[in-house]
Amino acid sequence: MSGIIFDLDGTLIDSAPDIHLGANAMMRSEGLPELSFDEVKGFIGKGVGALISQCLAAQGVDETPEQVARMSRLFHEIYETEIRLTTLYPNVESTLTGLKADGFHLGLCTNKPEGPTHAVLRHFGIDHLFDAFTFGDGPYPRKPDPAPVRHIVDQLPARDFLYVGDSETDAATAQNAKLPMAIFTQGYRKTPIEQLYHDAHFDDFAELRPIVDRLVPLPE
């Protein structure tokens, strides 16, 4: 059997507008100027703590543990329920459904906390498609450490795996875990694709299945 492990933000969903909303709510709560959408979008991918640190650094603020804790609490309060602006990328649902129906085991490996992850997956009706999960607030290091990916590999009854993500963090994660990598090019990546570890790239989820069949085909 074969397994496919997906990133979430910037890969399956475009959550940048809601993350931008939450980030600026944090900044206002500290009496700090708001950040542009492009600034915040560039900070996505390494978890809430890294997001807060980069938001503060962008305004020249030296963070303190107390400040980060306050901002983190507020961000989580907003982010647990704020999904009005988040969208599913085109052809994601049909592609995941088709892969699942054909016998692939699907995993989700994200640096997003568990609560918001399940909330957004339920919102789009795709939570039942995944057989294993790892989250940014789980008992293991965050990506690009390979530990969360290896945790999913250990949970799934599959021999061959493909990692699908959009960012520098995802490419490094796949490389560290020694898995083949397919990059979704419409996400939050800033580095030119040719400079990142990958075996294939695609612009639309309708293009993913041939890549899967080439890199981790199901047994005949």
Centroid of chain to Cα 202: 16
Active-site residue, selected from the candidate residues 7, 9, 14, 170? 7
Residue 189 CA to residue 172 CA, distance in Å, equals: 12
Residue 41 CA to residue 189 CA, distance in Å, equals: 10
Report residue 36: phi and psi, to 5°. -75, 160
Residue 146 CA to residue 167 CA, distance in Å, equals: 15
Report residue 7: phi and psi, to 5°. -75, 170
Query: At 201, which amino acid appears?
Result: H
Do residues 114 and 135 lie in contact, with contact meaning Cβ atoms separated by under 8 Å?
Answer: yes
Residues linked to residue 200 through DSSP beta bridges, in sequence order: 182
203 tagged catalytic: no
Task: Please give the positions annotated as active site.
Answer: 7
